[in-house]
Structure 1
Amino acid sequence: MPQPPVAPLPSPRVLTRPMAMELLTPDAAVPIETTVGYTSRDPHALSIVFHLLEDDPVVWRVDREMVLTGALTATGAGEVHLRPAPGGRLLLRLGPSGHCATVRCDQDGLARLVRDTLALVPQGTEESHIDWQPLLASLRS
């Protein structure tokens, strides 16, 4: 049976920005080099890459809507939780309860990046940027 034609995907759009963050420990706030990225092929999420002293960086995916909500009030699900902090900061709790890391970053800087992603892929248009073909092919086999 012939397949209906598939609308072409828009060209991929990508943003990456270095961002200063701090790992909060009981004794200190330790600066961490990070890069926050976005690709329209995964239009709902930001990737936060923590460049640690280990061989491989650690990457967390964070919902872009959650970042905007977390700038105003505590929010989160599963292993990602965000909440505003004093001094224009945002706290990210990453990992399972009891074994998590708390990271602090500039709330305005992260929110500005999310707004830039919304200019690339407006709310409500995300699904038109996802390549569904691999999923559909796996369902047919």
Structure 2
Amino acid sequence: MVMIFTLVTAVQEKLNEIVDQIKTRREEEKKQKEKEAEEAEKQLFHGTPVTIENFLNWRAKFDAELLEIKKKRMKEEEQAGKNKLSGRQLFETDHNLDTSDIQFLEDAGNNVEVDESLFQEMDDLELEDDDDDPDYNPADRESDLTD
């Protein structure tokens, strides 16, 4: 029994050592991964140091991109503008527009109808004119407006 106890104890100690080694290896791997992740994050925030040469290269590329965007926008506007002329351009290209307003007024002038019955009873209306009133004082009128 003593011998079995000694063997079992030795095996338990060896197993405990193996488990401890596995735990320490896992902890080291975990620490290594955290360290790598931290370094990768630092690299993301660190970026490229700005120098005059780097900045000028970036600016040239940026200006070229902006120029391309402006050219595309101008082409789109030109294509949209080909179908749509301004009023001045229409007037300069189509000479029928010179006389179109006159023709419209002539056509409409013959068709104007006035109902004279609306104006027949104008004599019955009492229209007051302040200038004809002898008691009219403009100073009184201004004080009424300011109150």
* Range into which the TM-score falls when normalised by the shorter chain: under 0.3
TM-score by length of 2: 0.16
Question: Quick one: higher RCO (CA 8 Å, sep 6+), 1 or 2?
Answer: 1
The structure that has the greater radius of gyration is 2
TM-score by length of 1: 0.17
